[in-house]
Structure 1
């Protein structure tokens, strides 16, 4: 589906944009942003793992292996 047009409806103090039936949402909750040029963007709401205490505790002392191996160089710091 390309270029569908929707109109804003008012319901109380809210504005409603109805999705065309061809769009099948994959999430139940979305974060909405409005850009400088007036575009409206909805993105599926996701949790931030860095704010999840269990995730942070499980990965607190994890280290990342260098992709290329070998020793550090220049201004990198090693443990």
Structure 2
């Protein structure tokens, strides 16, 4: 399957062929080696949610994503 880039305003657009089932409305785009372009659906980070922090960490209403897990003396 081949697609061509179209110019829309100041953007380059790649059309998703009808045969590809689109499962998301928003994608992260990455440029790979040798000109490869990869589109990945945007998803929530399951490790940076209030629910996860409350369950596995010592949640202190800080949503920065860092978990206060504590350090044992022999780990330093």
**Which structure would you say has the larger Rg?**
1
RMSD: 1.7
| Higher helix fraction (1 or 2) | 2
Q: Whole-Å Cα distance in 2 between the matches of residues 28 and 7 of structure 1?
A: 21
Q: Deviations over 1:12-55 (max 9, x none)?
A: 11111001110011111111101121100011111112222332
- TM-score for both structures, normalised by structure 1: 0.65
* Alignment coverage as a number of residue pairs: 59
Q: How does 1:19-58 map to 2 (within 5 A)?
A: 19-58=16-55
Q: Secondary structure at the match of 1:41?
A: strand
- 2:3 corresponds to 1:11: no
- TM-score for both structures, normalised by structure 2: 0.67
Provide runs of 4+ in structure 1 moved above 2 Å. Answer: none
